[in-house]
Amino acid sequence: MQKIEETTASDTEKSQQRRLLLKMLAASPLGLVLPASNEAKAMSGLVKLPPIPENVLSPEAALERLMKGNERYVSNQSTPLNFKDERLDLVKGQNPFACILSCSDSRVSPEFCFDEQRGDLFVARVAGNYITTDFIATLEYAAAVLHVPLIMVLGHESCGAIQAAIDATDNYEQFPGHIQTIATALTPAVRAVRKAPDYVSSDRYFDIVKKNVVLNVEELRKQPPILSRLVDSKKLKIVGGVYHLKTGQVELIS
Ligand SMILES: [Zn+2]
């Protein structure tokens, strides 16, 4: 885990920091957030600048950037991958601008579907995209230590974990090994979307996918002590999305 520390910069580092700061200030229709007092400190070399200055964003700007990236992906206009340019910057550390709690499904790839590169997204994945203590700790680390301003819980169409939860809840199906743990964890979403005679099962299924995202977003927003405090002080935004397999579009639902 990265340790946050302040160092006294050498002349070369100071010069590099000034260049980065100018790049930051010149950049970005996306809304950089750097308090004026920190600008002055950064100019004098007292504050260590983040490895990717353009990733220092407000929660709203981070969400806008994420969704614009998804638009590029949907329209097949993704930025060509570049594995070289920022490699050295990322040796110094990381400052991703968004955190994604995604399903592990191989068809959902956060870096691809938001057209982002290494160092941009802090990604936690588990089949069924639900929170456990370990995942809350991971998200807390992203928000409190890395200062990530945005968390998105990302579900998707045709999620096998959701189907397992439906089978376990509605049909009392048992799964081998530890798989039952996933089915059980997703039960609240299944129970929250009741069966009805005129409820088409595929519609109910997708409503459960969405409900599972919404429930986990709500749980994260009120999660003490770190996430709830950051949400209340508007330093962190937590949203929910669903990935559509056919189009690649991420639909914001919460
Ligand atoms: Zn899934």
Long-range contacts at 23-29 (CB < 8 A, ≥ 24 apart): 23/53, 23/54, 24/49, 24/53, 24/54, 24/56, 27/53, 27/54, 28/54
Based on the domain organization, do 29 and 77 belong to the same domain?
Answer: no
CA of 217 to the centre of ligand 1 (A): 16
CA of 77 to the centre of ligand 1 (A): 25
Based on the domain organization, do 81 and 129 belong to the same domain?
Answer: yes
CB 108 within 8 Å of CB 102:
yes
CA of 173 to the centre of ligand 1 (A): 18
Q: What is the pLDDT of residues 42-92, one digit of tens each?
A: 444 445 789 999 999 999 999 999 999 999 999 999 999 888 888 888 998
CA of 55 to the centre of ligand 1 (A): 28
> Which of the four pLDDT bands, split at 50, 70 and 90, describes residue 102?
very high
CA of 159 to the centre of ligand 1 (A): 4
Based on the domain organization, do 113 and 38 belong to the same domain?
Answer: no
Based on the domain organization, do 120 and 165 belong to the same domain?
Answer: yes
Based on the domain organization, do 69 and 170 belong to the same domain?
Answer: yes
CA of 157 to the centre of ligand 1 (A): 8
- At 254 the pLDDT is 93
CA of 74 to the centre of ligand 1 (A): 20
Based on the domain organization, do 97 and 121 belong to the same domain?
Answer: yes
Based on the domain organization, do 66 and 84 belong to the same domain?
Answer: yes
Host domain of residue 26: 1-49
Based on the domain organization, do 26 and 113 belong to the same domain?
Answer: no
What's the structural domain count of the chain? Answer: 2
Based on the domain organization, do 21 and 92 belong to the same domain?
Answer: no
Is the pLDDT confidence value at 250 over 80? yes
What CATH number is given to the structural domain containing 158? 3.40.1050.10
In angstroms, rounded to a whole number, what is the distance separating the alpha carbons of residues 106 and 46?
Answer: 43
Write phi, then psi, for 248 (nearest 5 degrees): 85, 0
CA of 209 to the centre of ligand 1 (A): 9
CA of 97 to the centre of ligand 1 (A): 24
CB 18 within 8 Å of CB 43:
yes
Helix intervals (H) in the chain: 11-26, 36-43, 59-74, 87-91, 110-113, 133-140, 160-171, 179-185, 187-192, 201-221, 226-232
Q: What is the pLDDT of residues 178-210, one digit of tens each?
A: 999 999 999 999 999 998 888 898 999 999 999
